[in-house]
Structure 1
Amino acid sequence: MKKVWFITGCSTGFGRSLATEVLAKGYYVVVTARKTADIEDLVKSYPDTAIAVQLDVTKQNEIEQAVTITIERFGQIDVLINNAGIGYFAAVEESEEAEVRKMFEINVFGLAKVIQAVLPYMRKRRSGHILNIASIGGLRSFPGVGFYNATKYAVDGLSEALYKEVAPLGINVTIIAPSGFRTDWAGRSAKNTTVKIEDYATTAWKNMGDIRGYSGSQPGDPVRAAKAMIQITETEHPPLRLLLGAAALRGARAKLAELQQDFDTWATVTEGADFPKEEA
């Protein structure tokens, strides 16, 4: 049987591009969004291989219903794409608790709940592949998006632990870490704080302005990203982490260099925090 894909957040961005490409390749696809009207156009040309399902990842009943519908229709879930997510622009001190909690509910807890709902079916078949959409901002932080970074660091950490838990069960996990792509993430999808602290004008505000101004002209191509994600699901040994975009690779390498410098510079102090070794 052809693989069955379950993709969250398909109304825009990576989710829409990925659903389009996966359907074109002939796979079975469960295309989800908070409003099915936003995704019906994606599945109308594929009535035998695609279904549109309503899914708000913050609602447990909708998660359970979406998974149940999938199993009843296709009998299995082979590839889970956790793509649903939002952004929020604010310096850490400016950040509003309600907006931060909303972002964590979607980006972290919603993702985790979908994984927990799907895993029993993957474990039963001893196969499957989970792709969690994180960000280069889950490896390297930037001013003005600190709490967004925190959600993506959480996705990265959760995914790495999950990888170690389920690999012996025949299930793969990949963390997708994109840089700037021409999606709507930096457009209407991400909110700005209503709090303004002038001291952050040259750091957080500047970066927020740069990101907003860059929207629509990012170098990343969502279609090429979708093809890359499909490619790793078709390989025997997929990576734990897949960077997408040249800027993501540059950023990750810069972070590695920064870590190496700090580790080496302070190695004596680091090792000195242990109890002294007993003398022979």
Structure 2
Amino acid sequence: MTRRTWFITGISSGFGREITHQLLERGDRVLGTVRKAEDAQAFMKEFPDTFASAILDVTDASAVRRVVDTAFAELGTIDVIVSNAGFGLFGAAEELSDSQVEDIVATNLMGSIHLIRSALPHLRKQKSGRVIQISSYGGQVAFPGNSMYHATKWGIEGFVESVAQEVVPFGIGMTIVEPGGARTEFRYGSARVATLTSAYSGTPAHAFQKMLDPKNGLAAGDPKRMAARIIESVDVEPAPMRLVLGSQALDSTIQVLRKRIDGFEAQREIAASTDFPPGE
């Protein structure tokens, strides 16, 4: 088994914590970022020789650059960058506050962009590396009551898909991970909810309330199995552009994409009608 060095953001919970634990258990090196030092203490105690941590708020672009530069300087080669930090935000679009909108964009979208841009010069110099962007099947499928989360995930997927084509000549691979619902703190603990109004009571915009309540049944996704598939993807060459995790997520994505293609196919005539005639 190849031993690698990983840089992972947001390891205090969810996929970040599970990926980190599995990697350290098998003997890889991990530098994980946290918002609070105490969130890394358990890993520091159990894996003092292979784990290091850094305090990082991914919304601070200069801090992201400083932490990434320091990590490469101290660790040398870093094989895998995992952009994982992020959170969910629920509520109808007009129920969200300006600060909530700005915070989720700064974290989920701009934070990931800053991280990837900061790592690319180093990966390009070493002529190798893999970037894993944790997204969601919500980067392809949209639900009511989740507009800003979808905005950030659709946005980061477009960014990564473009950059992935730019860095192929330098031996860098990029993968977008699209998990479905999983039994993590993302859904059952850390999800942020807008100040809800009666105007949307009983409408699709508030349907998420049932999903967030464990009493209504738990998500099907197993974080341990999902983390294992993410780790395994690094051995796949060339890097898979997307990795969908969860049967429900894959079925929903395929259904939505088929409907989208049908809609595009139906527009062939009107699309062609806006071209200059041949020869003009």
Distance across 2 between alignment mates of 1:162 and 1:68: 20
Question: Are 1:115 and 2:106 counterparts?
Answer: no
What letter corresponds to residue 250 of structure 2 in structure 1? Answer: L
Q: Which residue does 2:67 correspond to in 1?
A: 66
Tell me the CA shift for residue 199 of structure 1. Answer: 4.3
Q: Which residue does 1:54 correspond to in 2?
A: 55
Q: Which residue does 1:140 correspond to in 2?
A: 141
The answer (yes or no) to whether the contact 1:40–1:52 under 8 Å persists in 2 is no
The answer (yes or no) to whether the contact 2:138–2:150 under 8 Å persists in 1 is yes
Secondary structure of the residue aligned to 1:184 is coil
Secondary structure of the residue aligned to 1:218 is coil
Give the stretch that moved more between structures: 266-275 or 15-24: 266-275
Which structure 1 segments of 5+ residues have no match?
none
RMSD over aligned Cα atoms: 1.8
Distance across 1 between alignment mates of 2:4 and 2:213: 39
Secondary structure of the residue aligned to 2:94 is coil
Q: Which residue does 1:255 correspond to in 2?
A: 256
Mapping for residues 180-195 of structure 1, pairs under 5 Å: 180-195=181-196
Distance 1:94 1:277, change over 3 A: farther
Q: Which residue does 1:213 correspond to in 2?
A: 213
Secondary structure of the residue aligned to 2:275 is coil
The answer (yes or no) to whether the contact 2:65–2:114 under 8 Å persists in 1 is no
Distance across 1 between alignment mates of 2:94 and 2:34: 32
After superposition, the C-alpha distances for 1:232-272 in whole angstroms (9 at most, x for unaligned) are 11222220000011111011111121112212222212222
Q: Which residue does 2:160 correspond to in 1?
A: 159
Tell me the CA shift for residue 52 of structure 1. Answer: 1.6
After superposition, the C-alpha distances for 1:1-50 in whole angstroms (9 at most, x for unaligned) are 94210000000000000000111121111011111211220232222211
Give the stretch that moved more between structures: 70-79 or 178-187: 70-79
Tell me the CA shift for residue 188 of structure 1. Answer: 2.9
Distance across 2 between alignment mates of 1:276 and 1:124: 48
Secondary structure of the residue aligned to 1:39 is helix
Give the stretch that moved more between structures: 164-173 or 208-217: 208-217
Tell me the CA shift for residue 62 of structure 1. Answer: 2.9
Distance across 2 between alignment mates of 1:209 and 1:273: 45
After superposition, the C-alpha distances for 1:166-210 in whole angstroms (9 at most, x for unaligned) are 11110000000011011111233122111415246321112x112
Distance across 2 between alignment mates of 1:219 and 1:32: 28
Find runs of 4+ consecutive structure 1 residues off by over 6 angstroms.
Answer: none
What letter corresponds to residue 112 of structure 1 in structure 2? Answer: I
Which structure 2 segments of 5+ residues have no match?
none
What letter corresponds to residue 252 of structure 1 in structure 2? Answer: T
Percent identity of equivalent pairs: 35
Question: Are 1:96 and 2:101 counterparts?
Answer: no
The answer (yes or no) to whether the contact 2:188–2:214 under 8 Å persists in 1 is no
What letter corresponds to residue 122 of structure 2 in structure 1? Answer: Y
Question: Are 1:15 and 2:16 counterparts?
Answer: yes
The answer (yes or no) to whether the contact 2:78–2:129 under 8 Å persists in 1 is yes
After superposition, the C-alpha distances for 1:83-121 in whole angstroms (9 at most, x for unaligned) are 000111111232222101100000011111111211111
After superposition, the C-alpha distances for 1:52-79 in whole angstroms (9 at most, x for unaligned) are 2111111234323322432233112210
In the alignment of these two chains, the number of paired residues is 278
Tell me the CA shift for residue 139 of structure 1. Answer: 0.4
Give the stretch that moved more between structures: 270-279 or 227-236: 270-279
Secondary structure of the residue aligned to 1:219 is coil
Tell me the CA shift for residue 224 of structure 1. Answer: 0.7
Distance 1:264 1:72, change over 3 A: closer
Q: Which residue does 1:242 correspond to in 2?
A: 243
Tell me the CA shift for residue 129 of structure 1. Answer: 0.3
The answer (yes or no) to whether the contact 1:30–1:52 under 8 Å persists in 2 is yes
What letter corresponds to residue 130 of structure 2 in structure 1? Answer: H
Distance across 2 between alignment mates of 1:126 and 1:72: 16
Distance across 2 between alignment mates of 1:274 and 1:90: 41
Distance across 2 between alignment mates of 1:195 and 1:274: 47
Q: Which residue does 1:26 correspond to in 2?
A: 27
**TM-score in terms of structure 2 length:** 0.94
The answer (yes or no) to whether the contact 1:53–1:66 under 8 Å persists in 2 is yes
What letter corresponds to residue 178 of structure 1 in structure 2? Answer: P
